[in-house]
Amino acid sequence: MHSASIPQLADALSRAQSADDFHAALRQALGVFDQQNASQVEQSGIALVCRAGCSLCCWLRVDVYAPEVFLIADTLRRELPPPELEEMRARLVSHAELVKEMTVREHATRNVPCPLSREGWCSVYAVRPHTCRRHHSQDLAACRFTYEHPEDMEFPGAHDAALFHELTETMGMHAAVYEYLGFDATVYELGSALEEALSDPACWRRWSLKKKAFRRASETPSG
Ligand code: SF4
C-alpha cells in the first residue's frame, strides 16, 4: 500500500507561497503517514507495546529533512513562552556542540538524549518528524536492551519488519518529492539542525530558494 500523501504533497508544495503553506503541506503529509501507520497496525493485528511517557527510543539519533526542522522551529516559536524558548535554545546549543564532535556511528551508539524530550515526554509531539512516527515496538525488553547497551549494534529487533519497511518507503517518497521539486533533501540530525534553524533565519531563506538549508548541522550520509 503506497501512501496517498505523495500526490497531495507534490501538489501542495508546487503551489506553496509562504512558510505557512509549506508547513501546512507537511502537516497534511504527516497526518496521512499516521493514518497509513494506524491502518496497517489494525489490519495486521500488530501488538504494540509503545505507551505515553515511555521515551526509550528518544535516546537514538534522529534523522530529519529540512522542512521537518522548520515546522518544529515554527511551532516552538509560536508555543513556547520566551524564557522556555531560551532554555530550549540553550539545550540545543549544548546538544549541537556535543554532536558535532561525533561521527554518525558514535552518536548512534552513545545514548545522547533528544533535546526535545522533557521528563519522558516529547515537547513537540504533534509535529515530531517521520523518523519518530515510524518508530514502534512490539517488544519492550528489546527496547530496554538497546537503551542499556547502546554500543551493541547486534541489538534485538523491536519493529514489525513489514510495517517499518512500508513507513520507510513512504518517508523516502516524501523526501523524493522535495528532491524532484528541487528542494534540499539532505538528511540532517534533528537537534543540531533545529539549533541552526532557530538561530539563523537564513536557513529558511536558503531552503525556500532551493539551496542547501543548513551549514553547521550534522548530516547523515545517504545510502
Ligand atoms: S522529537 Fe520527540 S519523539 Fe522524537 S526523539 Fe525527540 S522527544 Fe522523542
Is residue 84, in this structure, part of any structural domain at all?
yes
Does ligand 1 come within 6 angstroms of the Cβ of 122?
Answer: yes
Does ligand 1 come within 6 angstroms of the Cβ of 104?
Answer: no
Domain range enclosing 178:
5-208
Residue the block writes with cell 550534522: 218
Is residue 192, in this structure, part of any structural domain at all?
yes
Is residue 50, in this structure, part of any structural domain at all?
yes
Is residue 214, in this structure, part of any structural domain at all?
no
At residue 1, the pLDDT reads 47
Classify 56 as helix, strand or coil.
helix
Does ligand 1 come within 6 angstroms of the Cβ of 158?
Answer: no
CA distance 161 to 158: 9
Mean pLDDT by 10 residues, the chain (223 residues): 75 94 96 95 94 94 97 98 97 97 94 95 97 95 93 83 95 95 97 98 96 97 78
How many domains, in total, are found in the chain? 1
At residue 2, the pLDDT reads 54
Query: What's the pTM?
Result: 0.94
In 3D space, the residue among 207, 142, 220 whose CA is nearest the CA of residue 181 turns out to be 207
Task: Please tell me the distance between residue 91's alpha carbon and the centre of ligand 1 in angstroms.
Answer: 14
Report pLDDT digits (tens) over 31-50.
999 999 999 999 999 999 99
Is residue 72, in this structure, part of any structural domain at all?
yes
Task: Please tell me the distance between residue 192's alpha carbon and the centre of ligand 1 in angstroms.
Answer: 14
3-state helix, strand, coil split of the chain in percent (to 5) is 60, 5, 35
At residue 212, the pLDDT reads 98
The answer to whether the beta carbons of residues 87 and 95 sit under 8 Å apart is no
Is residue 57, in this structure, part of any structural domain at all?
yes
- Protein residue with its CA nearest to atom 1 in ligand 1: 128
Q: What's the Rg (C-alpha) of the chain? A: 17
H/E element, 13: helix 5-15
Is residue 213, in this structure, part of any structural domain at all?
no
Residue 24 CA to its chain's centroid (Å): 16
At residue 157, the pLDDT reads 84
At residue 36, the pLDDT reads 93
Is residue 127, in this structure, part of any structural domain at all?
yes
